[in-house]
Amino acid sequence: MLTPESAGGTRPTGMPMITLEKAQQILLEQVSVGETITLKLRKAGQYRLAEAVYCDVDYPPFARSVMDGYAVKASDVAHVPVRLRVAGQVPAGLDSQLVLQSGEAIQINTGAPIPAGADAVVRVEITTLHSDGREVEIGESVPVGKFITERATYAHAGDLVIEAGAVLTPMNMAVAATAGAGEVRVYRKPSVAYLVTGDELVDVDAQPSGAQIRNSNEYLLASLLEAARVDAKSLGVVGDDPAELRKRMESGCAYDVLITTGGISMGAFDYVPRILEELGAELLVHKIAIKPGRPTIFARLPSGTLVFALPGNPMSALVGYELLVRPALSLMQGGDGQPMRLIQAVCEGELSAIRDRQTFIPAVVRVNSEGLWTVGLLSWFGSGDAVGAANANALIHRPAHAEAVKHGDKVSVMLLMHSMDV
Ligand code: AMP
Ligand code: MG
């Protein structure tokens, strides 16, 4: 019989299995924040800010109307109905020199500056024009200040409006634009190379024959890394050939991060751990008490490249990515590296008790008619079953030694933000 040693395959690295918490602590210690760059705001969407954004003007820069209607003196409309003389019109964008006198109203649009002399706005809906538009009847009284946003209500010039470390979300892009931040200092996206290994793999366009299967992990990783908006490069597929694998993994040294899938278990042809050692990598984690994903490796090459060697089964690779790779990519870009943001959801199925490894189960979260999160189970046959995990947008998290779950019990759920059908 071929043994791992006789086949020249892996040998145990001698590292003990550790808890997920310990692995994540090692990650926090090892991963440091990357370089910063300056980008035009237009190009900076979804980057993380390395420097806070300050507003360069008062916002709004002038007192403005919240409504379409008439600028008035509140004292003139204290008793209604009342007719006022229409003294002019101020559309948005016009720096009008009009001064409102007592007994007058000035037509005004949303966003237009409040004319001098006015102290309130009445909505057009409670007014009626008379005398060919020369007079307006006001139907309701308004207090001083009604429908006026005073200058600098939202921010004063010099105010901090977005903190360093925040992601330039769509709304933060709007805030940065408001603040005059035409250029922003952000964390550079890490460069990430990835490769998949296995003699059995054929590409999507090929018809698998005999002992072959299609290579799904390359597409999984490409898509995860696209959602992570990093600078990703596929190093392709490598067979279970140590020389070729070594060459390809060596080319990964030019990147900030190298991700591999497959070839890390105890099989005769699982060469990845041995090659990492040959390349002088410092093995930081090998084997975590999680299911799936136990053999996951985290290492550092002499080039400084962080290596995540994930198991070959698609769901194991996804779990390893979510628990280690995604947090690392976040830390490198100034994020907090928080691996699991768990929500509580009502389980619409039964789950058996858990043994000694924290367990992650693909599932579908929904919001029910009462607005509560529910989580539905899939017909899934384990970590090799990519088909059963179709439409999963979450992972149910079951702690080690957790008791069985009954229909209607609450469970902890990790949302897969990249898989939300929105
Ligand atoms: P390994 O981690 O190499 O022992 O592989 C574990 C399982 O994952 C095996 O059934 C492999 O055939 C499968 N596998 C490995 N790589 C891939 C891949 N790129 N796409 C789909 N399945 C894979
Ligand atoms: Mg393999």
- For 82, how many CA atoms within 13 A lie in the half-sphere containing its CB? 20
* Residue 308 · residue 31 · CB < 8 Å: no
Ramachandran class of 350: left when φ > 0, alpha when ψ lies in -120 to 50, beta otherwise: beta
All residues with CB under 5 Å from ion ligand 2? 198, 262-263
Work out the mean pLDDT of the chain and round it to a whole number.
95
Q: Is 70 in the same domain as 51?
A: no
Q: Is 171 in the same domain as 116?
A: no
In a domain, 11, yes or no: no
In a domain, 9, yes or no: no
What's the whole-number mean pLDDT along residues 77-105? 97
Token readout for 347 is 């389980």
How far apart CA 109 and CA 113 sit, in angstroms, is 9
In a domain, 6, yes or no: no
* Residue 273 · residue 283 · CB < 8 Å: yes
Q: What confidence tier does 5 reach under pLDDT thresholds 50, 70, 90?
A: very low
Q: Is 246 in the same domain as 110?
A: no
Q: Is 168 in the same domain as 26?
A: no
pLDDT for position 15: 87
Ligand 2 mean position, distance from CA 196 (Å) = 9
What's the whole-number mean pLDDT along residues 57-65? 98
In a domain, 7, yes or no: no
How far apart CA 102 and CA 219 sit, in angstroms, is 71
Token readout for 385 is 């079953």
Q: Is 243 in the same domain as 275?
A: yes
Paired with 306 in beta bridges are: 257, 300
* Residue 291 · residue 356 · CB < 8 Å: no
- Tell me the percentage of the chain whose pLDDT exceeds 90: 93
Cβ 266 under 6 angstroms from ligand 1: no
Strands 358-367, 306-310: pairing is unpaired
What's the whole-number mean pLDDT along residues 34-50? 97
* Residue 235 · residue 307 · CB < 8 Å: no
* Residue 359 · residue 291 · CB < 8 Å: yes
Domain count, the chain: 4
Q: Is 79 in the same domain as 44?
A: no
Ligand 2 mean position, distance from CA 331 (Å) = 30
Domain that holds residue 385: 342-419
How far apart CA 199 and CA 7 sit, in angstroms, is 15
The residue whose two tokens read 């909505």 is 123
In a domain, 337, yes or no: no
Could you tell me the CATH number of the domain that includes residue 414?
2.40.340.10
- Cα 322–324–328 angle (5° rounding)? 110
How far apart CA 274 and CA 265 sit, in angstroms, is 11
264 Cα nearest atom in ligand 1: 2
* Residue 237 · residue 243 · CB < 8 Å: no
- Cα 194–199–200 angle (5° rounding)? 100
Q: Give the ligand at the shortest distance from the Cα of 310.
A: 1
Q: Is 348 in the same domain as 378?
A: yes
Cα–Cα nearest to 388, from 341, 326, 308, 318: 318
Q: Is 206 in the same domain as 347?
A: no
What are 106-134's pLDDT values in tens digits? 999 999 999 999 999 999 999 999 999 99
Could you tell me the CATH number of the domain that includes residue 100?
2.170.190.11
Ligand 2 mean position, distance from CA 22 (Å) = 27
Could you tell me the CATH number of the domain that includes residue 163?
3.90.105.10
200 Cα nearest atom in ligand 1: 12
What's the whole-number mean pLDDT along residues 204-215? 97
Question: Which one of 304, 332, 360 terminates a domain?
Answer: 332
Question: Which one of 119, 149, 179 terminates a domain?
Answer: 149
How far apart CA 320 and CA 324 sit, in angstroms, is 6
Cβ 69 under 6 angstroms from ligand 1: no
pLDDT for position 11: 54
Cα–Cα nearest to 71, from 98, 34, 41: 98
In a domain, 13, yes or no: no
In testing the pocket of ligand 1, which one of 204, 212, 217, 385 has its CB within 8 Å of the most ligand atoms? 217
pLDDT higher than 70, residue 422: no
Q: Is 398 in the same domain as 371?
A: yes
Cβ 261 under 6 angstroms from ligand 1: yes
How far apart CA 375 and CA 153 sit, in angstroms, is 43
Ramachandran class of 410: left when φ > 0, alpha when ψ lies in -120 to 50, beta otherwise: beta
What are 287-317's pLDDT values in tens digits? 999 999 999 999 999 999 999 999 999 999 9
In a domain, 143, yes or no: yes
Question: Which one of 149, 166, 197 terminates a domain?
Answer: 149
What are 232-279's pLDDT values in tens digits? 999 999 999 999 999 999 999 999 999 999 999 888 889 999 999 999
Ligand 1: which residue has its CA nearest to atom 11?
312
> What residues contact 215, with CB distance under 8 A and at least 6 apart?
196, 198, 201, 202, 203, 204, 237
Helix residue ranges per DSSP H, 41-184:
170-178
In a domain, 137, yes or no: yes
Neighbour-count burial of 143, counting CB atoms closer than 10 A to its CB (0-12 exposed, 13-18 middle, 19+ buried):
exposed
Cβ 296 under 6 angstroms from ligand 1: no
* Residue 360 · residue 375 · CB < 8 Å: no
Q: Is 120 in the same domain as 161?
A: no
Q: Is 207 in the same domain as 284?
A: yes
Q: Is 72 in the same domain as 89?
A: yes
SS3 29: helix
- Number of H-type helices and E-type strands within the chain: 7, 26
